[in-house]
Structure 1
Amino acid sequence: MDAKICSEQQRGCWLPWLIIISVFAISIFPTDSTSIRSQKQESNLQKIEAGLAHARAAIKKATNQSSEDPDYVPSGSAYWNPNSFHRSYLEMEKRFKIYVYEEGDPPIFHTAPCYGILGLEGIFINDMEISRFRTKDPQKAHVYFLPFSIITLINYVYIVGSHDWSPMYDTVRDYITVINHKYPHWNRSQGADHFMLACHDWGPSISKSVPYLFKNSIRALCNANTSEGFKLSRDVSIPEIYLPHGTTNGLLGGPSPSKRTILVFFSGGVHGYIREVLLKHWENKTEDGVKIQKYLPKGDDYYQQDNYAKPFSDVLNWDTFSVDIPTSQIPQLKDILMAIPQRKYLRLQKNGAQVRKHFVVNLPPKRYDVFHMILHSIWLRRLDTHIRDINDQS
């Protein structure tokens, strides 16, 4: 097993010893005590929904008004509506509360690898454990985080070569059964105010082990493929960032646009249709400015595919800092990029530099960085979700 787990000194994570828990079968239906607890929470839920209504009104009012901020004020065409985004972000900082379920033991829960192409999963889980947005009072929470890691499920539960996913399915299903028995919140909303996060490609499939998790909950996924059940209005697309050292420090910057000699660069293995097409047409080609190879040490892994939702697209206008090339046009990749006028290229580069702060991994997190942008995407989904206790018969 070659996955690295953050050390206690670095991230405050647990060491990777395996703790096996036997979970007894518990009814997924609410008990009488659950219904009673749910009725007691009704007033708290109403207060939460009222607060969200005030936030929605403030965001709507800010459409044509700018707000002051000592750190950063979004502006320019890279944002769909910079004023609305800024007000929404400030409302999130003011109001947003997240409850992290404490049930479950490492290494399956509450920790994950913080390095490599899937490292953002561990970074988020560990940052969430100490985040200022975390509340210890579940009655005050707007959303509830399910702190299991798909990567550690695969590393510790899945038997390589068995092709049997049922142990992973059972682990997730049993965990939600436990929290459903102990807390009223899952049944109250049928999971609509709960969220999970996964960078591994198996995340969407494993989420199907619990119907409400797949159907109702917010799923923050790197594998944001709409053809595989990703819902733009409910789920959250998160970026896949290569983190050789658990942070983006030292990976940013580079020569000015006029001094760059590489037109397009790709490094990665052959898995998925898009990579097969890309490598078929461009692998080891000798044309100037094009570097497409299967494997390069320390290379950034990048892929673009039809049907994928772009990260933070509720806020960011990707057309202003990126070039979207359909799979069918990959053979014309160089011609398409070379046809971009110099003025447009410089504008794209300038906008890309502006929004780069939203894709930076900081330890500890800083305002507007990737951790907070993921939270903001979840915040937006919660703003658009009106929760009413399904057990309330009044």
Structure 2
Amino acid sequence: MATITAPIFLLLHLLLLLSLRPFLPIATATATTTTTTATTSSGPQSPYLSPTTLFQNYQNMRTNFMIFIYNPSKSFTFQNPAASLFYSSLLKSPFLTQDPNEAHLFFVRFSPDMSKRSLARLVRDLRINHPYWNRTLGADHFFVSPAGIDYSSDRNVLELKKNSVQISVFPVTSGNFIPHKDITLPPLNPSALVISAAPENASTTTFLGYLKWDGKTELNLVEELKKDGDFLIATERESLYHVGNVKNSKFCLLFYSGDVAWMVEAMALGCVPVVIVDRPIQDLPLMDVLRWSDLGLLVAARGGAKRLKEVLNDVSEEKYSGMRGMASAASKHLVWNEEPQPLDAFHMVIYQLWLRRHTIRYARREY
């Protein structure tokens, strides 16, 4: 056998690599392209996935978006504050139309405690009495369910669940959430409504992490954190100095299954949010708008206090400064107002609905 010299061997090796390129995983190539585009278009200090697209589309939405609301079978109220404020704001908004033929989306409103049987009957009536549901099998419809609805064997409820846009309240701990289709409302924290001052200098912080604890979630982890002087733990009864505690801390710890309502307040005050959860989550508010990976951290509880502290200490001062600034800027879009203001939580949720207005219109079928 002839001996292959080094230059020829390198050339053959290069040709082999080039021949294999078409067989590289598509997901890997796509992910790389997406990340590069986001970084380039948004800039290192932007909290948005794509600011140019956002603000251009937002103006189009303000001018053109139309929503038709079906009349409910009976009056009802939402007990959840964020869902209630979204609902009341929508009813008073300029996005409503009385002409269903000019609507982009259709709002199916029903009580959160409606039974599965009643919900199935509601969708069946829409199918029979209105022509709009069958055009898309409900894909251009949306509904509000604070905790989300689960799957059902009934065809009508199943179409509502799989095709229509569900609006829930973050976090949807039940798991009744379909990423890239469903939307979550930022939780309403009354104290966050009045926050407008810029965050103070980060150099004044005293604690690495602050947790406003409900007294029961992740007890073992909290007991470990209490033994470390770098962390400040306050129960609900001890939160008299809550705002001061937030300002004096670099990171604000939030349990995904606990009280996350003060997350927006923390971000506005310059405290970087750290969501403690043992699984990936995809229901963060404004997922279509904000670069959450650069605004905060997700840390598993199972690693204990030691691992949590390692993760927080590994964040460089330069990276932390950027996260802090972007979190503060992003918080303005997560605040609810009694009277909606431009680019606030209400309008950004409507914007996410606007992004979902393009649907596949299936052929009409008879049932």
TM-score (norm 2): 0.68
Give 1:285's aligned residue: 226
SS at match of 2:356: helix
Is the strand fraction higher in 1 or 2?
A: 2
Structure 1 pair 294/171, CA: closer, same or farther in 2 (3 Å)? farther
Q: Partners in 2 of 1:112 and 1:94 — Cα distance?
A: 28
The 10-residue stretch of structure 1 (203-212 or 92-101) with the greater mean CA deviation from structure 2: 203-212
Question: Which residue of 103, 106, 115 maps to 1:144?
Answer: 106
1:178 lines up with 2:125 in the alignment:
yes
Give 1:92's aligned residue: 61
Question: Which residue of 305, 319, 336 maps to 1:344?
Answer: 319
What whole-Å deviation, never above 9, does each CA across 1:257-308 have from its counterpart, x for those lacking one?
222334333335478xxx43xx321247142242345644777822543232
Q: How does 1:64-83 map to 2 (within 5 A)?
A: 76-83=45-52
Give 2:205's aligned residue: 260
Structure 1 pair 226/363, CA: closer, same or farther in 2 (3 Å)? closer
The one-letter amino acid paired with 2:99 is D
Q: Partners in 1 of 2:341 and 2:44 — Cα distance?
A: 19
Question: Which residue of 116, 121, 126 maps to 2:83?
Answer: 121
Report how far residue 132 of structure 1 moved: 0.9
Give 1:230's aligned residue: 177
Is the helix fraction higher in 1 or 2?
A: 2
1:189 lines up with 2:136 in the alignment:
yes
The one-letter amino acid paired with 1:353 is S
User: 1:204 touches 1:221 (CA, 8 Å); kept in 2?
Assistant: no
SS at match of 2:232: strand
Q: How does 1:1-394 map to 2 (within 5 A)?
A: 76-107=45-76, 111-113=77-79, 118-150=80-112, 153=113, 168-200=115-147, 203-205=148-150, 210-222=157-169, 228=175, 230-243=177-190, 248-250=193-195, 255-267=200-212, 269=214, 275-276=217-218, 279-283=219-223, 285-292=226-233, 295-296=236-237, 301-302=259-260, 304-305=276-277, 306-309=279-282, 310-331=284-305, 332-383=307-358, 385-391=359-365
Aligned residues: 290
The one-letter amino acid paired with 1:181 is I
Q: Partners in 2 of 1:122 and 1:181 — Cα distance?
A: 29
What whole-Å deviation, never above 9, does each CA across 1:322-353 have from its counterpart, x for those lacking one?
12223444532123213322222121111111
The one-letter amino acid paired with 1:372 is H
Give 1:55's aligned residue: none
Report how far residue 249 of structure 1 moved: 2.3
Q: Which runs of 5+ in 2 are unaligned?
A: 1-37, 243-253, 261-274
The one-letter amino acid paired with 1:266 is L
Give 1:11's aligned residue: none
Structure 1 pair 241/193, CA: closer, same or farther in 2 (3 Å)? same
RMSD: 3.3
SS at match of 1:382: coil
Structure 1 pair 391/270, CA: closer, same or farther in 2 (3 Å)? farther
User: 2:69 touches 2:107 (CA, 8 Å); kept in 1?
Assistant: yes
TM-score (norm 1): 0.64
Q: Partners in 2 of 1:292 and 1:205 — Cα distance?
A: 35
SS at match of 1:267: strand
Q: Partners in 2 of 1:149 and 1:208 — Cα distance?
A: 20
Identity %: 26
The one-letter amino acid paired with 2:299 is I
SS at match of 1:134: coil
User: 2:336 touches 2:345 (CA, 8 Å); kept in 1?
Assistant: yes
User: 1:265 touches 1:290 (CA, 8 Å); kept in 2?
Assistant: yes
The one-letter amino acid paired with 2:361 is I
